[in-house]
Amino acid sequence: MSYNALSQHFEQRYHLQHLGAICGWDQATMMPSGGNEARAEAMGTLAVLCHQQLQDPKLADFFAAAKQESLTSQQTVSLAEMSRQWRDATMLPTDLVRAMSLAGSRCEHAWRNLRPANDWAGYLPLFEEVLNLSRQAASARAEALGLSRYDSLLEQFEPGMRSDRLDTLFGDLKSWLPGLIIQVQDKQRGEPLLQPKGPFAIEQQRSLGLEVMAMLGFDFDHGRLDVSAHPFCGGVSEDVRLTTRYNEQDVAQALMGIIHETGHARYEQGLPTLWRRLPVGQARSMGVHESQSLFFEMQLARHPAFITRLAPLLERHFGAQPAFAPDNMARLYTRVNPGLIRVDADEVTYPAHIMLRYEIERDLIEGKMEARDLPERWDQLMQDYLGLGTKGNDKDGCLQDIHWTDGSFGYFPSYTLGAIYAAQQAAAMQQQQGSLEQLIESQLHTVFEWLQDNIWQHASLLDTDKLIQQACGQPLDATAFKQHLMQRYLG
């Protein structure tokens, strides 16, 4: 049966990607620096091999034949997901893929020095090359998929999502978010705020982190916690490798990071065992993935009831201090402070950073804007959304993110889609199971069971709209997110 032949092919791919994922984790956590060149070559060889395997001409025949076979409904979805990965890997000419990879490496490499030097002029020609190739790729993808150019890139990260929907969604956000930010700042201005006093020993931060991961149901028989310069959730779903970075002066940084990554990790660990080796058994989309990390970090961990549970743990690990009082911690963890840097942004201002990037990348890809106009547009939108300018300060403006340096256009919306999905999930869960406050206080397991039943176990067996509709009783909608922010920040 051709379906089985395809399954075998993709299972083999899964196994090879397993080796790549573990070696990628090792590279970030364990590898001595002198091993980097050989590792990069080895990872490159694997990437080429995996790409070549998808180019195997036999696959086209298998896909054609499998469509005629009598399949279960789940096998039909599985076939569609395999086909999606296969089309994704084969719709671009090899020369273009190679050129993009080269230009991307060059631009990203240079960016590491150009950003700290605030050197927009030095960056521009490299970025123009990346943009030019990304536009070509978008055109090729658009033609193959029958989508607009930007949508064809978005499709890689958020299958089924379209920019007209994002325009509506973000249009709604834009109508109330800037006002909300000002209101919240006004409200918070007079609030007392005690900063916890460090240093916080790294060994203690690590054991606190492990304890909180256990409380959040992380399965240590299928994963571990380590340190890397840029925290991530890697490895494979059978063996999730989560990393963090400790700051001796700030205990919240690693702690909230660990909770965030634990959300990603539990999604991976909760994927259905039966389908795990096939594309259909993998996470639904970047937005759904981010909805789990943000559910854990924002809906759960910054909830006053959760902070009340955290306080005694903090005291046990670092000794008592007034700043660990739950009220104070709750204020600290929900402080809203518009700033220039996305990765430092709080829950309320974060979507502003995303909307800005979305508008710019959409216009760049659709040819409605040129690379050279980026700093000015960035400054303008920052003024509009957060009242902050970046003129002459590109390093904290349009040079701050790594994403575009290697041509990852279409990814940014996932962050805010994740925040919105997380709020929808929290609202639905509370409707069905009782308030999060009660759940956190006395039956945290119910939270994870709900996510397991409604999100994790479905992997990619449902499309995102169906997944969200089925879990939350409504399609993608920012109402719950707005209500969540209003209640937490103005309530």
Catalytic residues: 261
Edge to edge, the sheet with strand 233-236 lists 223-227, 239-244, 233-236
Q: Which of 88, 128, 219, 250 binds a second copy (CB under 8 A)?
A: 219
From 22-30, 258-266, 354-362, 425-433, give the range in contact with a second copy by CB under 8 A. Answer: 22-30
From 11-19, 146-154, 191-199, 425-433, give the range in contact with a second copy by CB under 8 A. Answer: 11-19
Is 109 annotated among the ligand-binding residues? no
Cα 288 to Cα 294: distance, rounded to the nearest angstrom: 10
Report whether 402 contacts 460 (CB < 8 A). no
* Nearest distance in Å: CB 417, a second copy: 29
From 18-26, 61-69, 91-99, 430-438, give the range in contact with a second copy by CB under 8 A. Answer: 18-26
Angle between helices 413-433 and 464-472 (to 10 degrees): 30
The pattern of x and - marking residues 34 through 63 that bind a second copy according to CB under 8 A reads: xx-xxx-xxxxxx--x--------------
Burial 363-393 (b: 16+ CB within 10 A, else e): ebbbeebebeebbebbbebbeebbebebeeb
Cα 2 to Cα 244: distance, rounded to the nearest angstrom: 43
How far out from the chain centre does Cα 104 lie? 20
The tokens of 399 are what? Answer: 């040079």
* Nearest distance in Å: CB 35, a second copy: 3
* Nearest distance in Å: CB 271, a second copy: 12
Q: Which of 106, 224, 377, 403 binds a second copy (CB under 8 A)?
A: 224
Is 445 annotated among the ligand-binding residues? no
From 21-29, 328-336, 377-385, 418-426, give the range in contact with a second copy by CB under 8 A. Answer: 21-29
Closest C-alpha to 6, from 94, 48, 69, 92: 69
* Nearest distance in Å: CB 19, a second copy: 5
Q: Which of 5, 22, 80, 252 binds a second copy (CB under 8 A)?
A: 22
Report whether 218 contacts 269 (CB < 8 A). yes
- Which residues fall within 8 angstroms of residue 298, CB to CB, at 6 or more apart? 347, 419, 422
Q: Which of 15, 58, 112, 245 binds a second copy (CB under 8 A)?
A: 15
Kindly list the residues in this chain that would bind a second copy in the complex (CB under 8 A): 12, 15-16, 18-20, 22-23, 26, 30-35, 37-39, 41-46, 49, 219-224, 235-236, 238-239
Binding residues: 260, 264, 290
